[in-house]
């Protein structure tokens, strides 16, 4: 009787255990699918899922977007260059990736080789790819001309900015999810039309989510300080500091250096620009700002 009772108990327990395991597997799989879909949704909100930027290689595209995030959002120029280079290692035919390596390279001969490569393969690019490619090529040419003052055309920069404005405007209209090309577009608006147009564009055309992007926060703060909105500028800068640790990322330090420079607080500006360059000695914006600050400090002491 006891043996029969044990067999009966096993028969009752076994289906129950299997049912429990099965339910765990189903629930786990369901939760995984939810998390996967949320992850994909977040990715598509950050980048354009319907545009491949001229490469079918997912890894190349991943490093392309990572490079933009590092250079614009975090101020990590050295890491960004490494990411852009990884993108073209993954896909050497990735012309937009090649052009970004050309833009960030300090080697003039490398830039020339990249220009030749792009020009030789330009006909393989699509119309939408060329909206970005033409701007990046123009940027490389302007850099090369600056390095050779004899070749520098007086209207080269203005022509580059006009091209950038036209192409970026078309691109962000068609692909509004790309926050980093929007960031580049804002820089062009600032260069052509000044802080008021930049400030108005940010407040009128960007969503609250886009305004919380680290680059946008910093550029919003810069346009605000240039318009005399000091309290708002530092409020935005402090939001950025909560997003990014200034002991790790150069970005908050560069923004603070820019704000203090605009206020003629040169010693504080120098402190933050120096701090940014300790974190990343290749940060070109911080280098240029540091040079301007030091030049003014020397003129004051003299």
pLDDT at 116: 97
pTM (2 d.p.): 0.83
What single string gives the DSSP state of each residue in the chain?
Answer: -HHHHHHHHHHHHHHHHHHHHHHHHHHHHHHHHHHHHHHHHHHHHHS-TT--TT---HHHHHHHHHHHIIIIII--HHHHHHHHHHHHHH-TT-HHHHHHHHHH---HHHHHHHHHHHHHHGGGS-HHHHHHHHHHHHHHHHHHHHHSGGG--TTHHHHHHHHHHHHHHHHHHH-TT-HHHHHHHHHHHHHHH-HHHHHHHHHHHS-HHHHTSHHHHHHHHHHHHHTT-HHHHHHHHHHHHHHS-TTT-HHHHHHHHHHHHHTT-HHHHHHHHHHHHHH-TT-HHHHHHHHHHHHHHHHHH-
pLDDT at 301: 76
The CATH number of the domain covering residues in 63-301: 1.25.40.10
pLDDT at 299: 87
pLDDT at 148: 75
pLDDT at 46: 53
* pLDDT profile of the chain (302 residues), mean per 10: 46 45 44 39 54 97 98 98 98 98 96 96 97 97 81 82 98 96 98 98 96 98 98 98 97 98 97 98 97 92 72
């Amino acid at each position: 009787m006891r043996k029969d009772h044990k067999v009966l108990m096993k028969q009752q327990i076994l289906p129950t255990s299997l049912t429990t395991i099965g339910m765990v597997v189903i629930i786990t799989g369901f939760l995984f699918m939810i998390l996967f879909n949320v992850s994909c949704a977040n990715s598509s909100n950050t980048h354009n899922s319907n545009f491949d930027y001229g490469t079918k290689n997912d890894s190349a595209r991943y490093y392309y977007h990572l490079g933009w995030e590092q250079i614009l959002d975090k101020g990590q120029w050295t890491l960004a260059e490494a990411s852009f280079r990884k993108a073209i290692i993954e896909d050497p035919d990735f012309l937009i990736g090649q052009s970004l390596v050309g833009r960030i390279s300090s080697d003039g001969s490398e830039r020339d080789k990249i220009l030749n490569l792009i020009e030789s393969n330009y006909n393989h690019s699509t119309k939408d790819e060329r909206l970005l490619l033409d701007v990046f090529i123009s940027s490389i040419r302007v850099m090369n001309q600056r390095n050779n003052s004899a070749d520098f055309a007086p209207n080269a920069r203005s022509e580059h900015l006009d091209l950038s404005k036209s192409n970026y405007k078309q691109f962000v209209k068609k692909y509004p999810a790309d926050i980093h090309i929007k960031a580049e577009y804002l820089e062009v608006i600032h260069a052509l039309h000044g802080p008021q147009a930049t400030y108005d564009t940010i407040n009128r055309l960007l969503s609250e989510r886009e305004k919380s992007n680290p680059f946008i926060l910093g550029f919003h703060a810069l346009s605000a300080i240039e318009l005399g909105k000091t309290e708002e500028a530092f409020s935005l800068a402090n939001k950025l500091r909560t997003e990014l640790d200034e002991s790790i990322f150069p970005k908050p330090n560069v923004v603070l250096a820019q704000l203090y420079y605009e206020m003629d607080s040169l010693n504080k500006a120098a402190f933050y620009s120096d701090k940014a360059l300790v974190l990343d000695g290749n940060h070109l914006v911080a280098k240029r700002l540091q040079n301007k600050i030091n030049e003014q400090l020397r003129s004051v002491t003299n």
